[in-house]
Amino acid sequence: MARPTRPDRVDDPAVRKVQVLRAVVGLIAVAWITVSYRVASDAQSLAYQRADQIVMSATLLPATFPIVVGAFILGSRPHTRALYLRRTLKPLGSLLALVGTVLFFVVLTSVMPEGGLIGDDEQPSPAVYAKLLVMIIIALVALWGIVFVFCGAAVALVHVFRTADIHEVLPPIIATVLVWELAIMDLFSHDYDGLPVPARLAVILGGPLSVTMVSLWELRRLKTRHGLTLRRALGR
């Protein structure tokens, strides 16, 4: 659902390794700073902070996706717009699958009945047992949905909602826009109020700067190794 599948796309293993390395080093640095300055009291609270950031990123991405992709398609030459529009179907499907699962939980929590299922009867009617069976099935689907949302959000963020299916230059561009959006939000949040100003700036700006450098390196590698540039992608 979240990984690009276009057969002729460029998939550079070196880029993936650097992205994983950057993520691991960044996580270690953030963990060390937050625990050292007691921003996070233990490993559990640190894990909750990282999970919240993943959820926030996955929430921002649906808003960022149509703006960046729409600008990319509108900025391309007319003869390539139809091709890029067709290629947006799979990334859009990935986005809708994740958003739809979240909406499923919203609807589920709003229609869940209160009270017991069987009641006080010693011999419940067949309708009660049928209702219980339906509730068990819904619970199993909800359990699968929880795993799908968290794992899907993490994988979708790594592959930037499979926007490489549209063009290879889009994932680094969208990733850069997304991390700076998060940095702006972090500047106005109170998550790192316990840190000294230099450490707080390092935590807030370290991620965006490192993602931007990796993205610029990825774009340069796409140009030098594979002849792919934003200008050529737009047909200009």
**Domain residue extents for the chain:** 13-109+124-233
pLDDT at 114: 59
How many Å apart are CA 89 and CA 236, to the nearest integer? 24
Residue type, 125: S
For CA atoms 123, 125, 130, 132, the dihedral sign is negative
Inter-residue contact 234 to 76 (CB < 8 Å): yes
| Ranges in the chain, pLDDT < 70 | 23, 26-27, 29-59, 112-124, 190-195
3-state secondary structure of 115: coil
Helix (H) or strand (E) holding 77: none
Query: Would you state the torsion angle of the CA atoms of residues 166, 169, 171, 172, taken in this order, to the nearest 10 degrees?
Result: -170
Percent of the chain with pLDDT over 90: 15
How many Å apart are CA 194 and CA 40, to the nearest integer? 10
Residues in Cβ contact with 54 at an 8 Å cutoff, skipping those fewer than 6 apart? 150, 153, 154, 157
Q: For 184-221, what is each residue's pLDDT tens digit?
A: 887 777 666 666 778 778 778 887 888 888 889 999 99
Query: Would you state the torsion angle of the CA atoms of residues 55, 61, 62, 63, taken in this order, to the nearest 10 degrees?
Result: 120
Q: For 100-120, what is each residue's pLDDT tens digit?
A: 888 888 888 777 665 555 555
